[in-house]
């Protein structure tokens, strides 16, 4: 019996294009969120260690600079994540529903994270060439951002895993029955 199935997951054939939202079964928003979440959490870890070891070690400056580059990457990708998330919310939910209220909470937290991340980034860039370790106040802000992005991601996860938001469920689909044949999008 086959152990792996790659082609049906990787194909776009048979999937409907939905603009910035992605393709049916392949949404754009969820994979874009992974980069800012990871970037902000890892950068916060780098900042805490850099601040803790202080100016006496050369690698404190390396962590400070690496954290700055992580914030740049997170901020750039978060713009695309926000745009695709807004398209999802606009086209896939109704006002007055719990789903929309949860989307609003998720969006509000993530917009706050993005504003704080941009402030953190501006502050970092103003001290990038002069600080030899992460300044303590920037490290605190980074930890706040990491905590908030984790909470915001929890709301996003609840939308998908608890509410099934934008999940095109298979139901009693042939992929759940034992078979050697792969089923591609658009096939029954």
Q: Tokens 């695709």 identify what position?
A: 84
Cβ pair 44, 13 in contact under 8 A? no
Confidence of residue 169 (pLDDT cuts 50, 70, 90): low
**Buried-state track 72-95, b at ≥16 Cβ within 10 A, e below 16:** bbbbebbebbbebbbbbbeebbee
Q: What is the pLDDT of residues 75-92, one digit of tens each?
A: 999 999 999 998 888 877
Which pair of tokens denotes residue 167? 């999940």
**pLDDT more than 70, % of the chain:** 95
pTM value is 0.86
Helix extents (H) in 54-97: 58-92
Helix (H, G, I), strand (E, B) or coil at 27: strand
H/E run at residue 131: none
Q: What is the pLDDT of residues 107-117, one digit of tens each?
A: 999 999 999 99
Is the confidence at residue 168, as pLDDT, over 80? no
Determine how many CB atoms are found less than 10 A away from the CB of residue 54. Answer: 12
What gap in Å lies between CA 159 and CA 107, rounded to an integer? 12
Domain ranges of the chain: 28-165
Mean pLDDT score, 122-150:
97
Of 94-98, 136-140, 179-183, the poorest mean pLDDT is in 179-183
For residue 147, the model assigns a pLDDT of 98
What gap in Å lies between CA 2 and CA 179, rounded to an integer? 9
Residue, of 181 and 128, whose pLDDT is higher: 128
What gap in Å lies between CA 25 and CA 9, rounded to an integer? 9
Which DSSP state fits 17?
Answer: B
Q: What is the pLDDT of residues 34-71, one digit of tens each?
A: 999 999 999 999 999 999 998 888 899 999 999 999 99
């Amino acid at each position: 019996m086959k152990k792996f199935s790659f082609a049906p997951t990787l194909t776009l054939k048979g999937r409907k294009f939905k603009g910035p939202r992605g393709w049916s079964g392949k949404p754009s928003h969820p994979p874009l969120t992974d980069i800012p979440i990871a970037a902000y959490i890892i950068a916060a870890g780098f900042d805490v260690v850099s601040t803790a070891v202080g100016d006496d070690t050369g690698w404190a400056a390396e962590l400070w600079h690496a954290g700055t580059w992580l914030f740049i990457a997170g901020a750039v990708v978060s713009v695309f994540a926000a745009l695709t998330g807004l398209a999802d919310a606009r086209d896939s939910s109704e006002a007055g529903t719990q789903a929309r209220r949860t989307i609003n909470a998720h969006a509000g937290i993530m917009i706050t994270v993005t504003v704080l991340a941009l402030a953190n980034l501006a502050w970092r860039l103003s001290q990038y060439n002069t600080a030899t370790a992460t300044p303590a106040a920037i490290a605190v802000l980074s930890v706040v951002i990491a905590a908030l992005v984790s909470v915001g991601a929890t709301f996003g996860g609840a939308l998908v895993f608890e509410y099934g938001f934008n999940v095109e469920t298979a139901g009693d689909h042939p992929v759940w029955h034992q078979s050697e044949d792969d089923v591609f999008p658009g096939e029954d």
